[in-house]
Amino acid sequence: MSLVVVGSVAYDGVETPHGRVERMLGGSCTYAALAASFFAEVGIVAVVGEDFDQADYDLLASRSIDLAGLERVPGKTFYWSGVYSPDMNDRTTLRTDLNVFAGFNPKLPERYRGQSYLLLGNIQPGLQRAVRAQMLAPKLVGGDTMNYWIRETREELLETLQDWDFLLINDSEARQLSGHHNLKRAAQAIFRMGPRTLVIKRGEHGAILFRPEGHFIVPGYLLEDVFDPTGAGDAFAGGFFGYLAGLGLDLQDESADPKELRRAVIYGSVMGSFCCERFGVDRFRTLTRAEIDARYNEFRQFTEF
């Protein structure tokens, strides 16, 4: 195992124009770990309740994900439900039952601590910081956050970000965190907070990778049908970071090929696009590395001139 993923494992209820599912496996850690598992060996850190299904353990295990850090405690698993707008660019939360997630206090199993890559899903910044402190000497640390933490726990978040190599957020979060509407200026401000690699996720419009030496923009993949965008951002994070972990990339190593970060953004985009093709995590049940690489090549074909 080389990549540790921390975040939520949840049950989701989702309604999109294509249908409705009352309860299915979800959560940021789940999506990111499943996506990353196509590139690297992954171990997760999360908490579930007594209602967590054996079939869902089995799905994670089928992708060789290390479950030593998946704590099971009395109570119910985190539950979220929401409904998407007709164009699926917006969603309304119907219910958020934190359940056992309210008491989540991530503890890394001994064999996780020496790993090189740490992906911190969108949880309370103080917890992200506590997890980072449990790692011995990771090569690359980064993750996600959201508008709520940027607004409510700004100081704690800024302290947390100081130790991160990369941050993956969406455009409105980048604007809110930096105070700049212009994304180039937002990136410069975020570099000063710590992370020297910023990936801005733009949903159907793709993603931008910002580095002090320049930026890279990838458009979104044109899907025939978007069934369910839930988890696409986390799948992106998993594909992005899974690819880097699989390579063993070390950003401190000056001989590292700077193009690899760009390729990681493409793999992130590929995994995000697959995620939308079925409800929940369903696409990852059948996805193959050959399909992933074929779509990677499609990105090359529809962007090169």
Contact residues: its own copies, CB under 8 A: 87, 181-185, 202, 205-206, 208, 214-220, 222-225, 259, 262-263, 265-266, 300-305
Whose Cβ is closer to its own copies: residue 222's or residue 290's?
Answer: 222
Burial 136-163 (b: 16+ CB within 10 A, else e): eebbbbbbbbbeebbeebeebbeebbeb
Whose Cβ is closer to its own copies: residue 5's or residue 218's?
Answer: 218
Give the bridge partners for 28, in sequence order: none
Which H/E stretch holds residue 260? Answer: helix 259-275
Whose Cβ is closer to its own copies: residue 115's or residue 269's?
Answer: 269
Whose Cβ is closer to its own copies: residue 96's or residue 303's?
Answer: 303
CB of 90 to its own copies, least distance (A): 15
Whose Cβ is closer to its own copies: residue 49's or residue 272's?
Answer: 272
Give phi and psi for 159, each to the nearest 5. Answer: -65, -40
- Residue type at 35? A
CA 90 to CA 83: how far, in whole Å? 9
Whose Cβ is closer to its own copies: residue 137's or residue 222's?
Answer: 222
* Nearest Cα residue to 220 out of 302, 97, 124, 108: 302
Whose Cβ is closer to its own copies: residue 110's or residue 225's?
Answer: 225
CA 66 to CA 61: how far, in whole Å? 7
Residues 198/173, Cβ–Cβ less than 8 Å: no
Whose Cβ is closer to its own copies: residue 29's or residue 183's?
Answer: 183
Beta strand pairing call for 140-143 and 79-84: unpaired
CB of 219 to its own copies, least distance (A): 4
CB of 36 to its own copies, least distance (A): 19
CB of 200 to its own copies, least distance (A): 10
CB of 7 to its own copies, least distance (A): 27
Assign residue 224 a region (left: φ > 0; alpha: ψ between -120 and 50; beta: otherwise).
alpha
CB of 242 to its own copies, least distance (A): 17
CB of 213 to its own copies, least distance (A): 11
Burial 177-206 (b: 16+ CB within 10 A, else e): bbebeebeebbeebbebbbebbbbbbbbeb
Which H/E stretch holds residue 6? Answer: strand 3-6
CB of 302 to its own copies, least distance (A): 5
